[in-house]
Structure 1
Amino acid sequence: MNTLRNRRGILGAAGVLGFLVLVEALGRLGVIDPGVLPLVSAVLVTTVQIAFEPAFLAEVANTLLACLAGLAIAVATAVPAGLLLGTVSVVERSVRPLVEFLRPIPSVSLIPLAMFLFTESQDAKIALIVYTCSWPLLINTMYGLSDVDPLAKQTLRSFGFRGLSVVLRVSLPSAAPFIFTGIRIALSVTLIVAVSVELIAGGGGGIGNFLSLASGANRIDRMLAGTIWAGLIGLAANALFMAGERRLFHWHQGATS
């Protein structure tokens, strides 16, 4: 498994490197106007340079703080809600239509409403992150509960355990890999939502604000460099959670796939 994973990583890196070399060559040959799209080498130099700029690091910290705060609130609310819906069928049947109606609504379309309801752009950003992250957490928690072995619950009930005790001792541990996967999926969209709000709302700081300022100053190299860092941060966060998922839930088939 590790050999296959390493081989995929090497092939992926080779593909990215080949694409960058091709774009650099097209720029050097004049096929792509460097005035419109800077050379790859120039963008990479800028990418390294802005990593040492305090102003850029402050913008990154602003975005990450909102992402972590929104994700924490979503976990604290959506996971208990998923446990409730996944264990009490009457509540699940009553709330399911509302969930199915709200879940497909794109969070970006709610940015004007969030800006109207919250005077601070940071609060609006966190609120939209909570809204977006809640759905994968809620659905994964409910799905995880449906995968619990009924025999395990019946065995515990035979020893006199009821209700919440069964949920905490059997259902929650069994659903933990699915919940963790939901957190990883939610984490991947937090950065997208945060940067989108920063780009559209403006004035609240963050990576999106950095991109807007770079675009306004016609510094395409800085704009692309900021985008690269946003992608690297998302990639690193996803890789970290996948590694944690494999380590914590190696006994679960879905964690090793």
Structure 2
Amino acid sequence: MGRPRLGITSITLVKTLFLAALDAGAVYFAVVLAWQGSWGFLSFLLLGAGGVNFLLLSHKAYPLRYLFPGLFFLLLMVVVPVGYNIYLSFTNYSTGHILTKEEVIRVLTSREYAPTPPVRFPFYAFGTPEELYGVVLWPEAGPLLLWPDGRLASLEGHQVSDTDADGIPDVLDGRPRLSGRELLAHYGMLQALRVPWENGWLRLATLREFGYFLPQFLYDPEQDMLVDQRTGIQYRAGESGFYSPDG
């Protein structure tokens, strides 16, 4: 005996349930896209849902039901990528130049560089693995106290003890010096610090040293130009960017 075939009523029921679910989803996402103002995606959604309804409900579109799966993947994998690449070629998205002038200035002036030779200060942390009390930096001019909130202060007025007489403080205001393992819990906080120092700032450079860094670019609003402090090159604002004298 042959396998039982679905009757016309069963096929109609399956088709109706499928279209009901499709249209309900289309209405929901159409409202979401309209609320977000995504008119392009909304248009594609409505055209797609309308096209599927037309294919399944119209007798004139019966032959297209067998062509639609192949046409769908042709559009998805060939036509859409080609069209999108053609669209990108007429925009500046492919170059990455999508920042405003203010954003460019903010990004460039946040860049840094280390002077030559690099300036490094060893540091020693005090407290407990659960709470960092302070960090003693050791520049050539003399030790300084760096608080966890980024403030620098003199060690005057603080009790510093060197119990083993090796030249390195062991106790600060009653808090012991942290070992390398104990300090691991505080590296995340130390890495986030940018401590103003002379013409630049201090930040964590190695596991045992803070480094001195300078801003690579300075912006002169009066002359509307960026100056690269490392090379001395001046970049003046033009129609679509900042340009050096040689272009």
Q: Which is strand-richer, 1 or 2?
A: 2
Q: Which structure's relative contact order is higher, taking Cα pairs within 8 Å and 6+ residues apart?
A: 1
TM above 0.5, one fold?
no
The alignment's TM-score, normalised by the length of structure 1, stands at 0.20
The alignment's TM-score, normalised by the length of structure 2, stands at 0.21
